[in-house]
Amino acid sequence: MNFDLLYSNLTNPTLLFFILGIIAASIKSDLEIPASSFKFISLYLLFSIGFKGGQELAHSNIDREVLFSLLFGLLLAALIPLYTFFILIKKLDISNSGAIAASYGSVSAVTFVTASSFLELLGISFDGHMVAVMALMEFPAIIVGVLLIMHFDKSGNGNISLKQTLRHSISNGSVLMIMGSLLIGYISNGKQAMEIKPFTTDIFKGFLAIFLLEMGITTAKRFSAFRRNGWFVASFSIFIPLINGCAVAFMSGFVTNDIGNRFIFSVLAASASYIAVPAAMRIVAPKADPGIYIPMALGLTFPMNITIGMPLYYYLITISG
């Protein structure tokens, strides 16, 4: 592996702010980002990546590669929760297994943002349709997770209809924001869209750094609850995403030859949702414990991906040709 690349990622200012957040929470500092400001920054990041992706998509031809990429993303989002559920069910109950499987089948928009920043440091671009892939991968995993709970749980948990599940998945704020921004970016007049480029591009990394600072604080606060659930969930949080990311690093070569696109596919397969899925699971699977699946995704999988995972996936893609 290229250790200069690993060092570059570890010294990325956005990652260092994430570490600062962990330190702040660990020493019980009063440093915090107001909830309203944090929500605004979250929406801004989703708006920015969606709008820029829509603009890129508007200048791209909708060809076979784009269609295959969308189908490949949907397939990953459906298969990952399916196989992980049967791993989790060996140690956990049905509700928690379904919720965790849905989290790891869905994607993390923040990890996507960090991945795009990683590629930018390397001077590598990716196609705008990958934003559409990410947006579409949000809800299939939720549906599969709920269907698994409904099928295996006979106690009445997960009794929400499939129609309600689908509607809630699509109307989730983060999903709606990124899909809506993608559509607006796609249909917007190119000249007028350039007028807001300073807002969508120039200040992006600064907001990302503040966002990750708060994510670090949140991670450290939730990690104590996560530790009570044993080594099984800890091992799952690290090794399953790594397996997914490494496998897709090779498999994505059948869909596209573009290094940036393949890297984004790998990161999406390795990421886990801690925004859209928890919001849905609180309604459709109330017996599932957020104290397990949120810290899994946020406390271990997210840091693992931005420190070790991304350089590893990139290395595997480059050696696979």
Burial label, 307 (beta-carbon count in 10 A; 0-12, 13-18, 19+): middle
Helix, strand, or coil (residue 303): helix
Output DSSP code: residue 80: H
DSSP string, 187-233: HS-HHHHHTTHIIIIITHHHHHHHHHHHHHHHHHHHHHHHHTTHHHH
138: domain CATH number?
1.20.1530.20
How many helices, marked H, and strands, marked E, lie in the chain? 19, 0
**Rounded Cα–Cα distance for residues 4 and 277 (Å):** 35
Q: Tens-digit pLDDT profile for the chain (321 aa)? A: 555 655 666 677 877 888 898 899 889 898 988 888 888 888 888 788 778 777 877 777 778 888 999 899 999 999 999 999 999 999 888 989 999 999 999 998 888 888 988 898 888 989 888 888 887 787 788 888 888 887 787 665 445 566 666 676 667 666 678 778 888 888 887 778 788 888 887 788 888 888 878 878 877 776 665 666 678 888 999 999 999 999 999 999 999 999 999 999 999 999 998 777 776 777 677 788 777 887 888 778 988 998 899 999 999 999 986
Q: Is residue 89 part of a domain?
A: yes
Q: pLDDT tens, 232-249? A: 888 999 999 999 999 999
Query: Which residue spans within 50-186 are E strands per DSSP?
Result: none
**Number of structural domains, the chain?**
1
Distance (Å) of CA 315 to CA 14, 38, 69: 21, 34, 21
Residue 29 covered by a domain: no
Burial class of residue 20 (count of CB atoms within 10 Å of its CB; 0-12, 13-18, 19+): middle
Residue 43 lies in a domain: yes
Q: Is residue 30 part of a domain?
A: no
**Structural domain span for residue 72:** 3-22+35-320
Angle 173-187/162-171 helices, nearest 10 degrees?
60
Does residue 64 belong to any structural domain of this protein?
A: yes
Assess if residue 28 is contained within a domain. Answer: no
Alpha-carbon gap, residue 87 to 101, rounded angstroms: 9
Name the pTM for this structure.
0.76
Residue 27 belongs to a domain:
no
44 CB neighbour count, 10 Å cutoff: 18
